Amino acid sequence: MSRRTAFTLVELLVVIAIIAILIGLLLPAVQKVRAAAAGLSCKNKLKQIALASHGYHDAVGVLPPGHRSPAFAEGMAYTGWPLALLPYLEQEPLYRVSRAAFAISPVFQFNPPHVGMTAVLSSYQCPADPYSGRVQVSTIYGLPVALTSYFGVAGTAALAKDGSVYSDSKTTLLAITDGTSNTLLYGERPAAKTFNLGWWYGGLGSDGKGTAEMHLGVREPGASSLAMTCPPTARPFVLASFDDPCSALQFWSMHSGGAHFALADGSVRFLPYSANAILPALATRNGGEIVPAE
């Protein structure tokens, strides 16, 4: 009769130790693969947004406005490029529902009829952004809101209007005399944990003109509003924090080392934070600056 063999305690501990070592070696590799996949997906979404903007330009003759004031001729006040691009991102039904909602009530915060306020759209979510993938609640306004990870590049600052996508903008591609391959159109910025800014459907922004809501300058000065109170110094392109409400005033991302930007020619580039110094030149549409190669 043969005897049944079994692991000794020492052998079992050795096996557990080997498994732990293997997991320790594999986990960073898995995390890198996930980060790379998130980066690729984010890049593709910005590409689609840029191409949709070209489709809008072909149909309307201008790029979509960063944000619409009450004086904007086409109506739908306090909405912006994310709503305008819906038909060009295979979201025609939601666009029609939204237009009908404004016919019922011009106040975008009323939901219903403005169901877009809580419509989470994959096209506007970067997978690396941990908060844009579900409905959040604004800490000040108490509204359930859906967010965007992407913002129009208004120029050096939103009120300067020297970029391509700003409040009531009607920029043509021909007006981008710095060259469409040298001019930023959209970029990444996760929402701060207050969730008071970055609503894709509609919003007032930090200044009532959509700043930090749907469009943003690359040297946005501080703000003092219901949504935030921030120092007056300009916010650079550097790694920021979800815990800092003022991070809503700058481009940054959860990708390692920088963020993706779509250019006016439809291409997408990953810009490292070391590009901070040249970002103002890239953000303006007709500044005549010579942008050094990265």
Alpha carbons within 13 angstroms on the beta-carbon side of residue 17 total: 6
Is the pLDDT at 245 greater than 60, yes or no?
yes
CB 211 within 8 A of CB 158: yes
- Residue 28 is predicted with a pLDDT of 64
- Residue 3 is predicted with a pLDDT of 58
Is the pLDDT at 132 greater than 50, yes or no?
yes
Highest average pLDDT, of 15-29, 196-210, 278-292, comes from: 196-210
Q: Residues 230-237: what's their mean pLDDT?
A: 93
Percent of the chain with pLDDT over 90: 78
Residue 155: which H helix or E strand, with range? strand 150-155
- Residue 293 is predicted with a pLDDT of 46
- pLDDT by residue (tens digit) across 25-57? 666 655 666 777 889 999 999 999 999 999 999
Is the pLDDT at 7 greater than 80, yes or no?
no
Span of 65-74, 106-115, 177-186, 285-294 with lowest mean pLDDT: 285-294
- Residue 15 is predicted with a pLDDT of 73
Residue 52: which H helix or E strand, with range? helix 9-60
Rounded CA separation 45/64 (Å) = 17
- pLDDT by residue (tens digit) across 175-185? 999 999 999 99
CA distances from 8 to 15, 18, 20, 118 (A): 11, 15, 18, 58
CB 156 within 8 A of CB 221: no
For 288: left if phi > 0, alpha if psi spans -120 to 50, otherwise beta; the answer is left
When pLDDT is cut at 50, 70 and 90, the band that residue 266 belongs to is very high
Alpha carbons within 13 angstroms on the beta-carbon side of residue 183 total: 27
Q: Residues 247-252: what's their mean pLDDT?
A: 96
- Residue 21 is predicted with a pLDDT of 76
Is the pLDDT at 12 greater than 90, yes or no?
no
Q: Which pTM does this prediction carry? A: 0.88
Domain ranges of the chain: 13-283
Percent of the chain with pLDDT over 70: 92
Is the pLDDT at 16 greater than 50, yes or no?
yes
Is the pLDDT at 290 greater than 70, yes or no?
no
CB 170 within 8 A of CB 65: yes
